[in-house]
Structure 1
Amino acid sequence: MRPVFHQKDIYSEAHIYGSILAYMVVNTIRQKLKAKGIRDDWSNIVRRMNTQSLLPVR
């Protein structure tokens, strides 16, 4: 991981907020899967999620 430099403080705050939000989403997904007995590592979870697609509903 490399350091991220931003020109303005608000950009740094937005970056931190986005990172924390992403961590919370990932953690929630992992907790819900663990509660259902699914103990895959994150790369397998992402691989499975990438197989999903959206279909239009009429």
Structure 2
Amino acid sequence: MARDPVCRMTVEPAKAAAQSTYKGQTYYFCAVGCKQAFDREPEKYLGDATRATGR
């Protein structure tokens, strides 16, 4: 399982509504809106990249 870095919801990567790659790391999202917010300001949501990806 991964964690949506925007809303912090647990997301199963195979069923994620969307995904983005940033600095070589893939992030999974519960909804397209979360992906769009992340894509606009990724650093805002990545205080700790390990926490954000659930790894």
Shorter-chain TM-score range: under 0.3
Q: TM-score, normalised by structure 1?
A: 0.24
Higher strand share: 2
Using CA pairs under 8 Å that are at least 6 residues apart, name the structure with larger relative contact order, 1 or 2.
Answer: 2
Q: TM-score, normalised by structure 2?
A: 0.25
Q: Please say which structure displays the higher CA radius of gyration.
A: 1
